Amino acid sequence: MEQADLQTILSDSRRIVFFGGAGTSTESGIPDFRSADGLYEQRTSKTYLPEEILSRDFFMEHPADFYAFYRTHMVYPEALPNAAHRALARLEQEGRLTAVVTQNIDGLHQLAGSRSVLELHGSVHRNYCMDCGLKYPLSAVLRDPRPVPLCTACEGIVKPDVVLYQENLDTDLLDRAAFAIEQADTLIVGGTSLTVHPAAGLVSLYRGDKLIIVNRTPTPLDAYANYISDGNVGDVLGSLYPR
């Protein structure tokens, strides 16, 4: 389909929902953590994969190693929103987009001005003491010179409010995401192959007839899409608002 078709689909839309993943932020310089090298553990002579490091068990057993990986590969404090984030914020401001549902934890949608953002996997910008619950901004986690950031009030371990492997997603957030997708007149899937649970299940709740998929690789829903692009999310959505 031509780009003009995407313009037409969106111009008639009043309840757009965007469902996004890592590909939405690659143009902001944030790589998919699954592409990162693992972590070599000298004590055990074992190399851990990113998925193992980002698990609840690993965090509890090796918090310093977790943070060594996390601070290097998961946090990009200098990253800025790209054309995709800006276009989505604009669609919301125009009253045509009801929610951004994202698997990303970088907070770039909010930085671009989006307000209705459902962060399924949490955010690096929220952190809390596991003992007393005191909250900390990202800067506290990055500036703490110790291998593991500790609570200034009780010395408890500070944990990012990020959903690790082996942890459950917030059911209230899931409900809100499901509701938004069920009510959507247009669903844009961007930068995700829909393989990480519960992405495919959530997206399958969409009942409308305007499904747009922008992803580098095929997704299980390609056969149902009204518009497909294997381009960058920023290029495709950014073209809606040429500067």
Q: Which is nearer to Zn ion, 143 or 243 (CB)?
A: 143
Q: Which is nearer to Zn ion, 36 or 134 (CB)?
A: 134
Q: How far is the CB of 186 from Zn ion (least distance, A)?
A: 44
Structure tokens, 141: 């986690």
Spatial distance between the Cα atoms of 236 and 86, rounded to a whole number of angstroms? 12
CA atoms within 13 Å, Cβ hemisphere of 36 = 24
Query: Is 121 an active-site residue?
Result: yes
Q: How far is the CB of 240 from Zn ion (least distance, A)?
A: 45
Spatial distance between the Cα atoms of 77 and 75, rounded to a whole number of angstroms? 6
Q: How far is the CB of 143 from Zn ion (least distance, A)?
A: 17
Q: Which is nearer to Zn ion, 140 or 178 (CB)?
A: 140
Q: How far is the CB of 159 from Zn ion (least distance, A)?
A: 11
Q: Which is nearer to Zn ion, 151 or 236 (CB)?
A: 151
Residue among 85, 109, 121, 125 flagged as catalytic? 121
Using CB under 5 A, list all residues that contact Zn ion: 129, 131-132, 134, 151, 153-154, 156
Cβ atoms of 126 and 141 within 8 Å: the answer is: no
- Which residues form the catalytic set? 121
